[in-house]
Amino acid sequence: MRIACLMFVHETVTFLANRTTIEDFTYPGSPATGEALLNAEPRSYMGGFVQVAREYADVELVGIESPLWPRTGSGSGWVTRETFEHFTSAMVRELRAKGPFDGVFMALHGAMAVDGIARPEAELAHRVREAVGPKAKLAGTFDPHGNEDAQFLRHAELGFTVKYFPHYDSHLQGQRAARTLVRTIRGTYAPTHAVVKVPIITPTVMQWTGASPWMDLVQRALVWEAREPDLYMNVFFGFPWSDVPDAGMTIQAIANGDHGLAHRAAVDVADFAWRRRKELVRAATIHSIRDGVRHAAEAVSAGRTPVVLADHSDRSGHATWLLRELLASGHTGALGRVLIATVADPEAVDAAVPGEAFDRAVGGLADESAGEPVRVTGRVLARDEAGRRGGSWARIDIGGGSEVVISRYLTQIIELEQLRAMGIEPGAFEVIAIKSRVHFRRGFDDSGFAPTILLVEPDEPFLGTVRLEALPYRHVEIGRFYPYGDPSGPEVM
Ligand SMILES: [Zn+2]
């Protein structure tokens, strides 16, 4: 049994001014091919898939040359058409040259947005299908932030979506994809699916599955899987920062030959989401930056530290709104020791020399959502020398035990270990200001580390705002979604 494996992922913030290009996907190690691709992400989809597929003595895996995550992470806009064509046409050529294949595994995300291609993951599956022929079986894995509808499953037999946010189960979904793809090739699993679109659109900061009501929604899908053998449920929360026609929430169910079961399960989970829609769209409290910093000072004086101040809305990484407010408030001493990690500014990283003084305006300017640069003065404590192009971060001591970390790209601090790897002991700070929506709960909340967590965004509804009605959508009709309009309810596709 021969299975080709490939990967093509991006979470595209189409409201950012920069484009995601071939160059962003091309760096030492990427694209990856053969064993390097199969070993590229051992804790994610590919790792889970390869681990289980290799338990079968008769399965041969072929790693097709694939780009890894772009350097920009999710801090970049529209993937250019040229980029999509460049990588997919190479994949198709290689699939044709190295075939025949019994199956293809595609590690995907679902929120890639490409100039001129409305549904890139479905288009990729379509091209892969043409390359490997009608008899091969196709499986994909997805992120819960994927914007998907029924199109992908018209070209592929199987899809498996991460259930938790933070994304704890990507390896598990890779494992399930392997087992079910092998069964489908052998003929012991006959995939049939149902897809229901739920007209709810939510900012990602709402979608934390560690608490109700998002936890309940995931639980509903898990219970279906637990009680029905061979049933798989996908709950796409959606990614509203991608202005694409299949945005919004989607429920998929895949069953073994029993279409009625897939239909019942998908409709049930969709109806459940619809009944809980009021709670789903306002699951998190968002403060203005000024109020957030004020609440942080109160928490510090009450001893409820460390405090996490998360600017969930910064999509470029360059935003300085929280930095400015913290530097202004820090002079009063009410915040104690403050760690600001991170503000993106590649030139400032290049200019930082360990041991020397630092005095320059950092961040800002990427677009209006980033604000103006803010002057940071102090001493350079350390700089990452291992990274590409002379380091990816620098630590600036700004006095009073406080620090600012500047980074080359948008950097989400989600684990305490990321800070420790920079030589920072997170427990030494009363306030830790980060750029993250939900991912940080992995290291700061689920671990019990931070008793106070405050989510903030600027007063203006910039591109990462929870006020989605302010975004310049061209492909999403926001009025067709709750809570921005008055849709009638879920729709079976
Ligand atoms: Zn995600």
Q: Is the domain of 183 the same as that of 330?
A: no
Give the residue carrying structure tokens 């009625």. Answer: 260
Over residues 28-46, mean pLDDT: 97
pLDDT-above-90 percentage for the chain? 93
The pLDDT value given to residue 326: 94
The pLDDT value given to residue 474: 96
Which CATH number do you get for residue 228? 3.40.50.10350
pLDDT at 387 over 80: no
The pLDDT value given to residue 307: 97
What residue numbers bound the domain in which 122 lies? Answer: 2-281
CA of 302 to the centre of ligand 1 (A): 34
CA of 1 to the centre of ligand 1 (A): 32
Q: Is the domain of 170 the same as that of 69?
A: yes
CA of 264 to the centre of ligand 1 (A): 27
Over residues 106-120, mean pLDDT: 97
Rounded Cα–Cα distance for residues 226 and 129 (Å) = 31
Over residues 193-200, mean pLDDT: 98
Longest dimension (CA), the chain: 69
Report which of 89, 158, 178 is spatially closest to residue 127, judged by C-alpha positions: 89
Report which of 127, 222, 218 is spatially closest to residue 176, judged by C-alpha positions: 222
41 CB neighbour count, 10 Å cutoff: 22
pLDDT at 388 over 70: no
Over residues 226-238, mean pLDDT: 98
CA of 151 to the centre of ligand 1 (A): 20
pLDDT at 409 over 90: no
pLDDT at 295 over 80: yes
CA of 75 to the centre of ligand 1 (A): 13
CA of 144 to the centre of ligand 1 (A): 6
CA of 76 to the centre of ligand 1 (A): 15
CB 243 within 8 A of CB 474: yes
Q: Is the domain of 312 the same as that of 448?
A: yes
pLDDT at 120 over 80: yes
Q: What is the pLDDT of residues 342-372, one digit of tens each?
A: 999 999 999 999 999 999 999 998 788 999 9
Q: Does residue 379 fall inside a structural domain? A: yes
pLDDT at 390 over 80: no
Q: Does residue 485 fall inside a structural domain? A: no
CA of 12 to the centre of ligand 1 (A): 11
pTM, two decimals, is 0.92
DSSP 3-state of 79: strand
Q: Is the domain of 218 the same as that of 122?
A: yes
Q: Is the domain of 236 the same as that of 358?
A: no
Q: Is the domain of 318 the same as that of 224?
A: no
CB 195 within 8 A of CB 252: yes
Mean pLDDT across the chain: 95
The pLDDT value given to residue 316: 87
CA of 314 to the centre of ligand 1 (A): 15
Q: With bands split at pLDDT 50, 70 and 90, how would you rate the model's confidence at 234? A: very high
Containing 174, the helix (H) or strand (E) segment is helix 170-186
Single residue among 281, 313, 348 that ends a domain in this structure: 281
CA of 392 to the centre of ligand 1 (A): 23
Q: Is the domain of 312 the same as that of 222?
A: no
Q: Does residue 453 fall inside a structural domain? A: yes
Q: Is the domain of 366 the same as that of 428?
A: yes
pLDDT at 393 over 80: yes
CB 444 within 8 A of CB 307: no
The pLDDT value given to residue 203: 96
Q: Are β-strands 393-399 and 402-407 bridged in parallel, bridged antiparallel, or unpaired?
A: antiparallel
CA of 110 to the centre of ligand 1 (A): 9
pLDDT at 389 over 60: no
CA of 133 to the centre of ligand 1 (A): 31
Bridge partners of 457?
A: 288
CB 337 within 8 A of CB 402: yes
Q: Does residue 386 fall inside a structural domain? A: yes
Single residue among 265, 281, 297 that ends a domain in this structure: 281
Q: Is the domain of 277 the same as that of 316?
A: no
CA of 383 to the centre of ligand 1 (A): 29
Q: Does residue 484 fall inside a structural domain? A: no
Q: Is the domain of 421 the same as that of 442?
A: yes
Over residues 28-41, mean pLDDT: 97
Q: Does residue 468 fall inside a structural domain? A: no
Single residue among 231, 249, 281 that ends a domain in this structure: 281
Q: Is the domain of 136 the same as that of 9?
A: yes
Q: Does residue 486 fall inside a structural domain? A: no
Q: Does residue 487 fall inside a structural domain? A: no
Bridge partners of 407?
A: 344, 393
Q: Is the domain of 424 the same as that of 400?
A: yes
Q: What is the pLDDT of residues 455-481, one digit of tens each?
A: 999 999 998 999 999 999 999 999 999
Number of structural domains (the chain) is: 2
Rounded Cα–Cα distance for residues 106 and 110 (Å) = 11
The pLDDT value given to residue 332: 67
